[in-house]
Structure 1
Amino acid sequence: MTAAPTLSFYSDPTEFLAAAEPYLAADPVRGTVVASVAHRMAARRAEGVALPENDWWLVVRDASGAVVGAGMRCAPFPPRPPFLLSMPDQAAVALAHTLHRRGERVRAVNGALPAVRVCAEEVARLDGGRVEVAQHTRVHVLDALAPPAPVPGALRVASAADIDLVVAWFGAFMADADEQAGRPRGTSAHEAPDRAELLRRIRDGRVWFWTDGSGRPVHLTAANPPSFGVARVGPVYTPPEQRGRGWAGNAVAEVSRLLTAEGARVCLFTDQANPVSNGLYARIGFRPLVDMANLVLVD
């Protein structure tokens, strides 16, 4: 009989990264969300910022001690869905039981399939409710960049003076993404823009505007600093009145070129229900790598 996987929880993202590094580094595109959030939170902790006491990081080990899965529960927005990477089904079930015993109420699970579905279905069996798909997502990785037809204007890095516009456009991104995917605005749970965190991203040079011929910002593209050599682009936002003019394709292509020049491998997430963005990224050289999902438990 195969020994059950071991679940190890960490409250310190630095300790988690030390334990999970071989697993995350072996497949850094699939692990981009967990790795980038862990690195960001570790940096904040090193700066003396207190992290939420109920956050956790998970490492799954097999009988030999090898790391075979990872996850986290650090979402600052309700219902604080755990985010899981690939792991054996047995581990996903064990996680549901562990959280149930700890009294952690779980009403959503995000991340890699099939682990998220296995975990969510076991949570539903233990705590009641049924599992529904809130959003099917897909991770794409850049192969060879194919720049789109040029449009007027240019990319420029955002500055601290742009913070109000950056906050507004980050806030509009998720609601507009719901609408573009055919869902009611505000359906997807998401983090409200954190002004201090956005200022950090601006000062790190990780937020850009595409400006039109007059120098006016008409589009925003951001990216995360590389984690294990992979930089994730997002969000990508164009106000409704500026769409269909080529701003997004040119901005994402130029940002991807800059990140590649830094030595990073570039990836991004798309909503599978949005054919416009999926088609755009395919045309400029991104290929789908892995499907993920945001699942909710409905009472």
Structure 2
Amino acid sequence: MGEQEHEHLVRWCREFAADVEEAVTVDAASWADTRFAEKRYTFWETPDSTPVSMAGVNLAVAGMVRADPVYTPSHLRGRGYAGAVTVEVSRAALAAGAEEVVLYTNAANPTSNALYQPIGYVRVTDWAAYDFAQAVPEAGD
């Protein structure tokens, strides 16, 4: 991947993180320390080679590959690009020997949920993250 493609990837991962309200800094300096660095990415491009969507996948673990992130800039949404790139990375993972391809989506996002079911993904469960930070007593307490 060339420098221009890498800059594009970093920018789209930063935009994705902002869209899903993920508290992470994604820039060239922090890239290696983010969860985004450990993935392989596919850009979906128009016939003139303009990237319009992307999807990342983790390396297979116990026969399972996770597709994440799937991102299309807001001004390009609604044209089927995210569905196309998701189909492609899923197909490629299965062709490479993955037994399962999974992805996470926001259960409250009807657009992404409507996208993934017709291409073969099945809703399995809901989950939530909780942070049970322990309060540190102040001096004198």
State if a TM-score over 0.5 links the two structures.
Answer: yes
Partner in structure 2 of residue 191 of structure 1: 24
Render the CA deviation track for 1:148-195: whole Å, top value 9, x for unaligned. xxxxxxxxxxx2431111111001102223xxxxxxxxxx34332242
Q: In structure 2, give the amino acid aligned to 1:195.
A: W
Q: Select the residue among 3, 14, 18 that pairs with 1:175.
A: 18
AA in 2 matched with 1:281: Y
Q: What amino acid sits opposite 1:217 in the alignment?
A: P
Q: Which of 48, 53, 62 is equivalent to 1:228?
A: 62
Instruction: State TM-score, norm by structure 1.
Output: 0.40
**Aligned CA-pair RMSD:** 2.0
Mark the CA change 1:263 to 1:239 in structure 2 (over 3 Å): closer, same or farther.
same
| Paired residue secondary structure (1:190) | coil
Per-residue Cα deviation, 1:236-274 (whole angstroms, up to 9, x for no partner): 000011111110101100110000001111000011110
Paired with 1:262 and 1:242, the residues of 2 have a C-alpha distance of 30
Q: Secondary structure at the match of 2:122?
A: strand
Q: Secondary structure at the match of 1:175?
A: helix
What runs of 5+ residues in structure 2 fail to find an aligned partner? 136-141
Structure with greater proportional strand content: 1
TM-score by length of 2: 0.81
Q: Is the 8 A contact 2:44 2:81 kept in 1?
A: yes
Is 1:284 aligned to residue 119 of structure 2? yes
Q: For residues 287 and 199 of structure 1, do their structure 2 counterparts lie closer, same or farther at Cα, with a shift above 3 Å needed?
A: closer
For 1:269, the equivalent position in structure 2 comes to 104
Contact 1:160 1:199 in 2 (8 A): no
Q: Partner of 1:286: helix, strand, or coil?
A: coil
Q: Which amino acid aligns with 2:8?
A: L
Percent identity, aligned pairs only, is 36
